[in-house]
Amino acid sequence: MKKVFIETLGCAMNVRDTEHIIAELNKKNSYEPIDTLEDADLIIINTCSVREKPVAKLFSELGIFNKKKKDGAKIGVCGCTASHLGKDIIKRAPYVDFVVGARNVSKISQAVNTPKMVAIDINNDDTTFEFEEYRNSLYRCSINISLGCDKSCTYCIVPATRGQEISIPQEIIINEIKKAVQKGAKEAFLLGQNVNNYGTNFSDGREKTNFTNLLKEVSKIDGIERIRFTSPHPLHMDDEFIEEFAQNPKICKAIHVPLQSGSTKVLKNMKRGYTKEWFLNRCEKIRSLVPNVRISTDIIVGFPGESDEDFADTLDVIKKVKFEQIFNFKYSPRPHTAAIDMKDQISSEVSTKRLNDVIELHKIHQDETMNSFLDQTVDVFFEDLKPNGEIFGYTDNYASVFVKGSEELLGKVLPVKITKAYRTSLFGEILETK
Ligand code: SAH
Ligand code: SF4
Ligand code: F3S
């Protein structure tokens, strides 16, 4: 067996693509994954393009990897930056052997054996391709339910790197989950840029369906105890979806509701398709139906034209919703997006100040919500053994919990009494072993 080292940047979909890349290389090219770059016969960076920073990181890392690699080892660039820069990557870093875009994972085996191959067609339909099985986790199976994105948020490069949205047929999704269950998976993690737009566009022209129906079907699979998904879009959070989320006991009570901005004016300029009021109304409905829900969000500060009043609306939404987790970003101008040419770009100083305001406000809510776990008993699904002898897992509502324990707890859901609360994680003691 030859050895492949893969570094994965970006989102959960890229993590899943890496699993597919490993599976393909394993079956067709006899590679097995390793953690040490120096021993690898093939080095791959699975890139992200969503902000400028990861792109800059790619070129600095390529240089480092090229110096560290063993003689004769190949280097490949995959993922979203591969899609958007294509052959320019080989121009800038001539030692790169191939470039395979985010929508071209099925071409990876061919690319490894074709010098300087560049495969970046974003109309490529990877759904027709049956990937081999490979998973990072025995207990959680990540499953793509759709590829690409049909929205055109004016700041976002993803539609240009992953192409148009196509839903993967339900039977493929269900079969994949059933296969993973046979190998020990208990949690299904459904992935797409817009999961709750599932079912509107299939490549074989079949009848439309929707995400709520898919959730119902997945929850019928024996052996699946927990269902998670990311990312849903606030625009498609209709009552039927929220009610299913609330009522279905297998669906974890954690939900990502990406705000981006609290200002209706900015949301319009971002082409998000909802208003501040709609967003608040959806979160209120979720909180009223699911009292223990944890809501996470994404926020961009410093979008072109964002005034102090607009930003005050973002803080206002944060105060009202009290998100349990916020992923916050300074707006980063991206090629192939409408916002790059917008007037009124905001200075870096103003964006930094706003980012800090978000972080400080969020800290108050984090402390409040994490402290509320103290002395509570929660069910934790243990999935990872840490080097310091702690076992790690998530609660149903996606809080991180560490306990002292050993390997035999992995893959089990056990009651834990929380004894310490930190800002981003909890520590506790197992009450009994089932
Ligand atoms: N499909 C998901 C988001 C995928 S990108 C959704 O709609 O929620 C993940 C996050 O990166 C986005 O939610 C957004 O907050 C952030 N992001 C995307 N483009 C960005 C840009 N140009 N600058 C800063 N943050 C950006
Ligand atoms: Fe980007 Fe918007 Fe699509 Fe999310 S929904 S991937 S933010 S274009
Ligand atoms: Fe990055 Fe592509 Fe995901 S740009 S966030 S890896 S969809």
Where is pLDDT greater, at 124 or 424?
A: 424
Show contacts of 285-290: CB within 8 Å, 24+ apart: 285/239, 285/242, 286/237, 286/242, 286/245, 286/246, 286/255, 286/257, 287/321, 289/242, 289/243, 289/245, 289/246, 290/245, 290/246, 290/253
pLDDT tens digits for 92-120? 999 999 999 999 999 999 999 999 999 99
For ligand 2, pick from 158, 165, 194 the residue to mutate: most ligand atoms within 8 Å of CB: 158
pLDDT tens digits for 27-66? 999 999 999 999 999 999 999 999 998 888 899 999 999 9
Instruction: Compute the distance from residue 149 Cα to the ligand 1 centre, in Å.
Output: 12
pLDDT tens digits for 77-89? 999 999 999 999 9
Which ligand ends up closest to the CA of 273?
Answer: 2
- 114 and 145 co-located in one domain: no
Q: Is residue 231 part of a domain?
A: yes
Percent of the chain with pLDDT over 90: 92
Assess whether the C-beta atom of 50 lies below 6 angstroms from ligand 3.
yes
Assess whether the C-beta atom of 167 lies below 6 angstroms from ligand 3.
no
Query: Closest ligand 1 atom, CA of 298?
Result: 15
Chain centroid to Cα 176, Å, comes to 19
Residues 6+ apart with CB under 8 A from 188: 140, 141, 143, 177, 180, 218, 221, 224, 226, 227, 228
- Residue 137 pLDDT more than 90? no
Split at pLDDT 50, 70, 90, the class of 126 is: confident
pLDDT tens digits for 209-250? 999 999 999 999 999 999 999 999 999 999 999 999 999 999
pLDDT tens digits for 157-184? 999 999 999 999 999 999 999 999 999 9
- 190 and 150 co-located in one domain: yes
Instruction: Compute the distance from residue 160 Cα to the ligand 1 centre, in Å.
Output: 13
- 76 and 225 co-located in one domain: no
Assess whether the C-beta atom of 197 lies below 6 angstroms from ligand 1.
no
- 189 and 287 co-located in one domain: yes
Measured distance CA(410)–CA(136) in Å, rounded: 14
Q: Is residue 127 part of a domain?
A: no
Q: What is the CATH number of the domain that holds 396?
A: 2.40.50.140
User: Taking a C-beta distance cutoff of 8 angstroms, is the pair 336, 160 a contact?
Assistant: yes
Give the pLDDT score at 387: 86
Give the pLDDT score at 205: 86
Residues 6+ apart with CB under 8 A from 390: 402, 403, 404, 405
Using the structure block, give the residue that is written with the tokens 């139906």: 289
Mean pLDDT value of segment 190-201? 96
Measured distance CA(373)–CA(30) in Å, rounded: 47
Q: Give me the residues paired with residue 42 across strands.
A: 4, 74
Closest CA to 100 of 4, 17, 9, 192: 17
Measured distance CA(237)–CA(283) in Å, rounded: 10
Report residue 371: phi and psi, to 5°. Answer: -65, -25
- 15 and 60 co-located in one domain: yes
- 199 and 64 co-located in one domain: no
Measured distance CA(126)–CA(129) in Å, rounded: 5
- 211 and 349 co-located in one domain: yes
Residue 420's H or E segment, with its range, is: strand 413-421
Q: Is residue 134 part of a domain?
A: no
- Residue 21 pLDDT more than 90? yes
Closest CA to 65 of 42, 37, 85: 37
Structural domain including 292 reads 140-368
- 184 and 290 co-located in one domain: yes
Q: Measuring from atom 5 of ligand 1, which residue has the nearest CA?
A: 50
- Residue 8 pLDDT more than 60? yes
- Residue 127 pLDDT more than 80? no
Measured distance CA(404)–CA(193) in Å, rounded: 36
Q: Give the β-pairing of 74-79 and 42-47.
A: parallel
- 52 and 82 co-located in one domain: yes
Q: What is the CATH number of the domain that holds 105?
A: 3.40.50.12160
- 222 and 342 co-located in one domain: yes
- 384 and 417 co-located in one domain: yes
Domain total in the chain: 3
Split at pLDDT 50, 70, 90, the class of 130 is: low
- 20 and 150 co-located in one domain: no
pTM above the 0.85 mark?
Answer: yes
Assess whether the C-beta atom of 233 lies below 6 angstroms from ligand 1.
yes
Split at pLDDT 50, 70, 90, the class of 302 is: very high
Q: What is the CATH number of the domain that holds 203?
A: 3.80.30.20
Query: Chain-wide mean pLDDT for the chain?
Result: 95
